[in-house]
Structure 1
Amino acid sequence: MLAFIKNAFKKDQLILLASGLAATFFIALIYNQHPHFLQLLNLKIYDQYLKEYHQPVATHVPVIIDIDEKSLAEIGQWPWPRYQVAKLMKYSQAYGAVSVASDIIFSEPDRTSPITVQDSFKKELGLDFKYSGLPAAYQDNDVLLGANLKTGPFVLGMNFIPTITSDSVRALNRGCFVKPAKIAVHSTKDAISMYDALPTAEAAICPLPVLAKSVKHTGFITTFPDPDSVYRRVPLLYVWHRKLYPSLAMAALMQATGVENITIRMRSQGVESIRFNKTIIPTDKNGRILINYRGPTGKFEYFSASDILKKRLPMGALQGKIAFIGTSASGLKDMRATPLDPSYPGVEVHATLIDNILSRQFLVLPDWATGMEFMGLILAGITTTLLLMWARATWMIVPLVGMAFAMFAGSAYLYKEQGYFISPLYSYLTLAVNFTLLTLIKFWREENAKKFIHGAFAHYLAPSVIGQIMDDPDSLTLEGQEKDITIQFSDVRSFTSLSEKLSPTQVTNLLHDYLTPMTRIITNHDGTLDKFIGDAVMAFWNAPLDVENHQECALNAALAQQIKLEELNELFLHKYGFTIAVGIGIHSGPVRVGNMGSADLFDYTLIGDNVNLASRLEGLTKYYGQKLIVSQTIKDACGDNYYFRILDNVRVKGKKLPVTIYTAYPLEQAKSRMEELELYEKAHAAYLNQNFNEAKALFVELQQKNVEPLLYDLYIERCELLIQNPPDNDWDGVFVHKTK
């Protein structure tokens, strides 16, 4: 065989054949491993198909009852009393809805119930009063809602918690009276248990018992995004305590159709499909269905909750509809990123699933997709190799482009016409890798390698693209302006380790207790809040409106934040058992400020090197043990209104020029520490003058005061190092920070 191959092919062709087959084998190994970055790329291809070929709403059966801004203005702020919820559901039924499902979980008692208000006044204020003329049925709003739930086609929502560790969260399992689904299982001989395949919960957030016992169906709203934080699929069933529970969409559909049984088909890999009535729903091995989104937000019909409560709709407006109660009001809505909309209401996901199931328009990753994708990459690799063995690369562009188009057209046809997603990614990758590799080999063997590489790099690094953007800045779609801005970054020290001691609810409360007063301080000092980055805060001054003395305003805000934090820490120590420390960095300089982002979604913010420098200054607070670090621009702008204590001359990561950094004190505070501060200035001056023995002695004296040990320890260590290794004559005292 080897002799035949040697006789049939020339040496150059053998090299190309071996290289092409090796490259194809390598791509096949990558396909078997399916690395994370290629998974993400595959998901983006899927998203592009969905954007290109998504279909409009097919059934118009699901609708949204929206607790919108108009409803809040007319009915009152949320949460509404449960009797209002009862009215909303009953009126929706009266308008003809065959199923009314709540995307809102009623897991806590209604605080506005007369009996609850009565108990609260008695316990908290010592006032014991009775209601006069109030029927017993209206004493408890939850009981009233429960009584109404028994009389209609109503479905309540719940939420599953897959993994828990806190005992406080485990208490959520208690008193849950939701009803499991009736499941029939069809299994092949080698099938695994459905309990091993379906997602499993350790805890649940359930409706109140008086509510859960009053409805026939309850559905979960639990779902999780793909690795890129985009929601593409949802589970239809969840396992909890060895029982199965349907999703909210499935529960609403069961309520509307009267179908009680769900059939699940199991195989060796997991779930094959889920059958509802006569509809077979294709799922992945974990019982999740790909959501065939119909478009961005607003594709389903919305009805304002206030219009229903005020009876403004024509009779029969919801006839035959499956209605989901959700909210689009600011601060209440549950937004999720989807392939078609970065801010998609979660309630529309349930409506989309109903539309998919009723229309039987499913998207599927079929069992044979893996085999077809694998054969596609093998075919692409072999074909590309054989073509390039006998022809020049330039002659192969047309047939290879044709082959690439054919792969895309076939994949797109299966998606558009059959709903099957067969990714052409690895076929394209094989084609591209083989074409590139074999073309480079042919160039290497036919021409001078150095000239080729130099020419290729010169081509790829042509400066004309940058020049075009600089010559025509109006070609950019996003607008903004260059302006002198003061930027402040603040961050809670070691927040991750602190949050590990708390439950998720406590972490949320802690952030609320901290961020609320800090935000008010910023806005009260004429600042603009840019964003929250977890526990970090970014703010700026002098935009969008001009702020006089904006550097001083920012510094005053930082000093006020420090004072406020001392008050908050007393609360935190009592409430959470610990205090927090915050570092603040402030810098001023020209930046680009305006609407930044994409053409569809943008934010008013700022970018520029000075923004990065402000962030670096905040990061340095940990290194120097300071609560506040400011730049030279802040010191120059604020003049003699504060005492500025020089900390260092540094070159931060990512910058070439050194920066002088300071911390700042109010003058009254500085006067109380003047002896220490003057001694520090003397020590720092000795350090800069390379009198390291004198500087060390002074820093040791400061260290004994035990006021700021981290800063003094830092300089003692530097002095000792420089005494042992004296610097060159051109030493400028600049310290280089290699980390952020």
Structure 2
Amino acid sequence: MAFDIVFSEPDRLSPDLIAADNPGISRELRSQLLQLPSNDAVLAQSFSRTRVVLGETSVRSGLQATGIEREIEQVPHAIIGPDPKPYLLKFPELVQNLPILNEVASGRGVFTVLPDADGVYRRVPVVMMVEGALRLSLSLELLRIATGGDAFAVRSNDAGIDGVVVAGQVIRTQGDGTVWTRFSASDPNRFVSAADLLEGRVPQNRLAGHLVLVGTSAIGLEDFRATPLGVPMAGVEIHAQLLENVLSGTLLQRENTADGKELLLTAAMTILVIALAPMLHAGVLIVSTLALVSAYGIYSYLMFLWQGQLVDPTFPIVATILTVMLMSSTNYLREERRKNRIRNAFGQYVTPALVAQLTESMDALKLGGERRDLSVLFSDVRGFTTLSEGFRDDPQGLTKLMNELLTVMSQPILDSGGTIDKFMGDAVMAFWNAPLDDQDHPRSACRAALEMVRSVEEFNATRMANQTDDAPVHPIHIGVAVNTGPCFVGNMGSNSRFDYTALGDTVNVASRLEGQTKYYGMSIIIGETTARQVDGEFALLELDLVRVKGKTEPERIFGLMGDARLAGSDAFRALTGISTRMLGAYRAGQWETAGNLIAEMERQGTVLGLDLRDYCTLFSTRVRRLSDTSLDPDWDGVYDALEK
């Protein structure tokens, strides 16, 4: 039998101790008590009549901490392979039994069991180092004594402890000398009540031929341990089940090289995931990974069920899933960076606020195209050929100048919520009301056009002020046209390359109107639809009825002269009155009246600070030419623009 109890102190109920601790008793009684043997001696005599294994335990501080040294009796053993001591669990102090009991005991085993990190007892050390001495666990020491008491052997290799040889059989262990107990539910048939035994209520042959472990099972003694079964178990039963596993060959097996093999397997699984991640879609990768880890989990379970082999399912599975998460996160961050690059690139064409709205509401961006009303703006640099000739020997300088100029021209568009469609050399195309709705798009486009002209004037002034040599600085002038109407807008192009752009008659007319700005001497020309929607909010001057190239219907065009402040001035209202009468006389063929009104227009424009000389010269030339010829019966006052 083996005791899961340490008899480390004398029994306080021994007769001699009672006599010594009770001075009030009679001399005769004290003499009688002192003649009786101590309880410990009686217990030792009982031990001497059979083979008894005493239990020992360990604490974390004690004699070695105080510098007191003592000799621990060695258990006969042998070592097969490298020195196992570096791998074994080490306990600093051994709590032994009374010497009188130790002398008659057949063996000594350690019943200390350590929990895993989660507080659950899954493993039992079967061989360990205690104060520099090798010791077997209580169960294996009982088995050793029961089978003759021969020496045990510790077998080791480069991976640590490989097994313990006891009673002629090899008990495979982990590298630190622990084994995994295959726990089963607590069975009352394993237990015999000590009270029943003392009272003679146990059949005489109940313990015959058995290995007996004596221990406590009272909850109050706090010798209950959490087990993988989910229910606590008395410490003595843990040793009993370990002994049952050894005798029946049902111990769970886990080689001391299992950790290394599982690391290699984990590396293989994670490398496979890393290799497949760039080639598979996210959904396929997730399904494949789940299939892989599920297969490994099933393999681990079947090895446990059929062969009692412990193959760790957690580390390889968790590592693989974490690798997939890492790869997914990496792909997500890469995709985010790509989207940011696209967002930043798109931000060069539209206002950042618009990009933010698109980011939050992707439904607002309809890919593939749609029909909607837009306000389209075209802008071009006048006299670009002449300007570029001045940079014949300095192409980098021309490039720098144009980049600065296009930046100046683009900013008002972006600030007003417009979308820059494209740059065409020195020209800019933009539109409003796409991709997001802008109910005020004609006004936004007109505000941007006025700001573009003003920004270019400031740009010219800055160039003049920063001139560092004697080379002449040619001022840059631009022409801007705005037209409003239905368009088709969306992503257009090939399958491999496309642009977000607008098409339609409105776009074509806007382009033609921009070409007329130089002819009419105007910085900004807008179409009739645009003028009708912004009338009263901007200073508009009707210019002409024009049939642009490629069109059969004439377009009434207007000059955008300024903002609402100018439009509300009495002087400008007078100018628009003169212009209206002039165009009426012109279209009616009243050349003399038209000529007088043209001169009056120019004077009124000078009063307002508006340069109408080119426009007035144009109409004066027309009036003189028409007055010298007979009036065509089909005359309708429409000018046919033969050039773009």
TM-score, structure 2 length as denominator?
0.48
Greater relative CO (CA pairs within 8 A, separation 6+): 1
Q: Is the radius of gyration larger for structure 1 or structure 2? A: 2
